[in-house]
Amino acid sequence: MKRRHFLLGLTALGGLASRSHAQDDPWPTRALRILVPGGTGGVIDIRARWIAQRLSGHLQQSVIVENRPGAGGNLGTEMGAHSAPDGYTLTIIHQGTMTVNPHLYARTGYDPLSDFAPITRLGIGPLLLAVHPSLPAGTAGELVQFAKEHPGQLSYGSPGVGTPPHLAVELFKRTTGIDVVHVPYKGGGQAASDLVAGHVQFTSESLNVQLPYVNAGRLRPLAVTGAKRVSTLPGLPTVAEAGWPSYQFEGWVGIAAPALTPRYIVDRLYREIHAIVDAQEGRDWFGTAGAEPGDLPPASFAHAIRVEYTKWAEVVRDAGIRLE
């Protein structure tokens, strides 16, 4: 019995020493990088750069954003999943990469439920349904009517297969019964540029991406996809208000570290990012984009991802969508 108590005592002391060592670890001592699984100019890139700039000040280290587009976000996400779990590589994640792509693709190169340590959700909000000004549609209803009169002739752009903008329009297609063509790009910036140039006719993207073009008169907004209107475009109805009460879509963007990243690093990152997005500047910035900070602690965020993972598995299966 005495020997057992002695061994238990050593184990407890070892645990205390380990925690003390973790708390005394000088992390970070060098620059961090944030991998963005998409091109420049898209919503995930915009949010990554906004967070990186402020996180750099909080951590007193450079935070570099590195774009890795391709395969609907799979390439950059795979790189993030297999990076060293030392707190120096973070990855921007979103609905597409974490809850949809694993059901769409035969191989993604990562497991969203086991290869990451989710840190927090950076923002959640509706997308903006907008058209090129040359299209004779001033409302969502007129867009649907035109599409039905010209089946298969309209095209819409997205940052890639399985990304939130793609899912939002696919849901809109099923809800309204229209036949339109999907044109996937390697990032939201490219999709927006081609929409402004008239190479595709409409899209459903973040307000961050599309609002500058709307304000410049280069895109025409029709509706927002969320449950309520946004303060930046108060006169614009939701898709539900426009005639399809069952329709609602809100996209989210988050940030994660590789699995096995020390817990004290994940917790420190959550505290710093929480302070950034919960500040008035953060609330104002997200509000301008019609979104909310969407802040969730690591455990709650991981649970939310699992719930959506199951939800989209059913949607993808029922739709019969599968990619190589």
> What phi and psi, each to the nearest 5 degrees, are found at residue 52?
-60, -45
Look up residue 188 and give its two tokens.
């939201």
Q: pTM to 2 decimals? A: 0.77
Cα–Cα distance for residue pair 130/322, rounded to 1 Å:
28
Task: Answer whether residue 167 shows pLDDT above 60.
Answer: yes
What's residue 21's pLDDT?
A: 47
What's residue 319's pLDDT?
A: 66
What's residue 278's pLDDT?
A: 92
Higher pLDDT, 145 or 312: 145
Higher pLDDT, 131 or 166: 131
Higher pLDDT, 276 or 171: 276
Task: Answer whether residue 263 shows pLDDT above 70.
Answer: yes
What's residue 324's pLDDT?
A: 66
In the sheet that holds 89-94, the strands lie side by side as 63-67, 32-36, 89-94, 250-258, 116-126
Range from 28-37, 38-47, 133-142, 160-169 carrying the lowest mean pLDDT: 160-169
Confidence of residue 160 (pLDDT cuts 50, 70, 90): confident
Cα–Cα distance for residue pair 122/44, rounded to 1 Å:
10
Write down the mean pLDDT value for the chain.
89
Higher pLDDT, 55 or 232: 55
User: Measured between alpha carbons, how far is residue 175 from residues 101, 116, 128, 159, 207 in Å?
Assistant: 22, 34, 17, 21, 22
Query: DSSP letter at 98?
Result: I
Is residue 162 within 8 Å of residue 169, measured between CB atoms?
no
Range from 7-11, 181-185, 231-235 carrying the lowest mean pLDDT: 7-11
Is residue 117 within 8 Å of residue 298, measured between CB atoms?
yes
Q: Could you give the domains of the chain?
A: 31-124+251-319 (3.40.190.150), 126-224 (3.40.190.10)
What's residue 303's pLDDT?
A: 97
Q: How many other β-carbons are positioned within 10 Å of the β-carbon of residue 317? A: 11
What's residue 23's pLDDT?
A: 55
What's residue 231's pLDDT?
A: 85
